[in-house]
Chain A
Amino acid sequence: MMDACGIDSPEALFAHLPEAARLSRPLELPAGISEYEIVEYFRQRAAENANGYASFLGAGVYNHFRPVLVDAVASRGEFLTSYTPYQAEISQGTLTAIFEFQTMICQLTGMDVANASMYDGSTAVPEAAMMAVRATGKGRVLVAKSVHPEYREVLATYAKNQGMPVAEFGYGAESGNLDLEDLERQMDSLTGAVIIQTPNFFGIVERVKAAAEIAHRHGALLIVVFTEAVSLGLLEPPADADIVAGELQSFAISPSYGGPYAGIIATKEKYIRQMPGRLVGQTTDSRGNRAFCLTLSTREQHIRREKATSNICTNQALIALMATVFMTVYGKQGLRELAEQNLAKAHYLAGKWKPRFSGKFFNEFVVRAEGKSPGEINKALLKKKIVGGLPLGRFYPELADSMLLCATEMTKRADMDALAEVLA
């Protein structure tokens, strides 16, 4: 190889770099180890995972069953090895899958159009806010405190550099629902977006229609966020929203630290040109056959440079495909039954205490830890191989005595009873 390159040592490849910028000693790396040793190393590390533990964590990441068909389809080379298409039309299979994804997201959300996916739910939220600001010409954003706290942090990061003032409105101390009076009080003529989440961070189902009415009366758009996509199998689609932004982790994407997950943005047809990201459309080819194409790319960075609607110029192709297979496997009826199981299990669990909030909830709810702190309770639970709920003090100082518990179709009755014993 060095002969072919016309050099006499690998160092010659770096000769053009200044001496001071080059490392003059070998890298401090351990000696090579065999394949067997590597496999053994990872086997040991994997054994350190909390295998065999029951978990009651939700809060934006949910433990749902992954049908085996998901990996069977997603691991096909045609999907697994391809990036989101740029020379799009030669990849009809990928485009077909994305088109089906978009169609199903529209059916679930009650929107007219969905894009090919976003990085995750947290980045979909500021993108939706920027859409609303572009569409209304009004730069201020009002977000509910009951929207996922980390999503609000990502929103703040984007907003800071967009010159987009963000204010928050509260939740009812009794109900856990949106404080609509606070929303009304804080609305003004400069607000272009109102952001709510349903089910909200406390698991409570929100009054979308009432929030939409207030937003629209003041000339703002309503953005509805979801973190638990399974809830869409049972709840009325948030069709009163102007934009829906959410996270699809619940649809066959393994809970893993840092992702990758997949987000969505869906909207009404009249805002289609403000929507970021890729969009696949259906068309007819020169021979009259049905075909798929990337459409409205003039909103995108690779066509429109600095005038693009967003810096996202890609999508979560493979992860969105997993969600597509999941939605296909379950179907409308299956997703409804899955959601009903979640609802039933969470309400069985909640029956053991009085939840802190009176609002109607889906598969998560807040409980007050009586006597002990949430941290102490979780420590006691770990001894019983149970990962407890999320202590809320980290995000909501006023709820420092409370934790957020989640039950899904995967939660076993015996574990729920064991949890109840420790919490009692």
Chain B
Amino acid sequence: MYPENFRYTKEHEWILVEGDTGTIGITDHAQEELGDIVYVDVPKVGARVERGKSLGSVESVKAVSDVYSPVGGEVTAVNETLADAPETLNRDPHGAGWLVKVRLSAPAEILELMTAADYRKYVEAEK
């Protein structure tokens, strides 16, 4: 369920780091809790994001939730397909439903995030 090569946050975001770039999304647990997602608000390419600060929001039929950046850096790409097909986030949260790619300013930050095993336990405990 939760890929081993991802790192996770307590706010239910994931990040996959390849080279100096991290791909960020929300977890399967997060999409499950939110319900049907109808709109995704992401920053523009070139925007600076800070670790632990809001980088955008995800709107479901029930609520709007902030998405917090797991790392600091500069946005290099955003998932444009979500504008027309926000339901992708429900269907494939760990794949096609990615939100943004960020060039990491401090790659060591990800070591402080949870591993897949930690996150599984964290979600279990929250239930």
Contacts and interface: CB of A to CB of B under 8 A. Distances in A.
Interface of A: 137, 273, 298, 303-304, 307
A298 B64 contact: yes
B44 A298 contact: no
B39 A273 contact: yes
Contacts of A298: 39, 59, 63-64
A303 B44 contact: no
A112 B94 CA distance: 35
Q: Which of B39, B59, B64 has the most CB of A within 10 A?
A: B64
Contacts of A307: 57, 64
Interface of B: 39, 41, 44, 57, 59, 63-64
A304 B65 CA distance: 9
12 contacts: A137-B44, A273-B39, A273-B41, A298-B39, A298-B59, A298-B63, A298-B64, A303-B63, A303-B64, A304-B64, A307-B57, A307-B64
A304 B66 CA distance: 11
A273 B58 CA distance: 13
A47 B64 CA distance: 55
A379 B22 CA distance: 74
A307 B39 CA distance: 15
Nearest to B59: A298
A306 to B, nearest CB: 11
Nearest to A272: B39
B27 to A, nearest CB: 21
B94 to A, nearest CB: 25
A273 B19 CA distance: 36
A357 to B, nearest CB: 42
Nearest to B39: A273
Contacts of B57: 307
Contacts of A303: 63-64
A304 B39 CA distance: 14
A380 to B, nearest CB: 61
A308 to B, nearest CB: 10
Contacts of B41: 273
B62 to A, nearest CB: 9
Contacts of B39: 273, 298
Nearest to B64: A298
Nearest to B60: A298
B64 to A, nearest CB: 5
Contacts of A273: 39, 41
A190 to B, nearest CB: 15
Given A273-B41, A298-B59, A303-B63, 9 more contacts: A137-B44, A273-B39, A298-B39, A298-B63, A298-B64, A303-B64, A304-B64, A307-B57, A307-B64
A137 B57 CA distance: 16
A307 B59 CA distance: 12
A143 to B, nearest CB: 25
Nearest to A308: B64
A421 B59 CA distance: 65
A137 B64 CA distance: 21
Contacts of B59: 298
Contacts of A304: 64
The 9 closest A-B pairs by CB, nearest first: A298-B64, A298-B59, A304-B64, A137-B44, A273-B39, A307-B64, A303-B64, A298-B63, A307-B57
A137 B42 CA distance: 13
A307 B41 CA distance: 12
A298 B57 CA distance: 11
Q: Which of A137, A298, A303, A307 has the most CB of B within 10 A?
A: A298
B89 to A, nearest CB: 15
B85 to A, nearest CB: 16
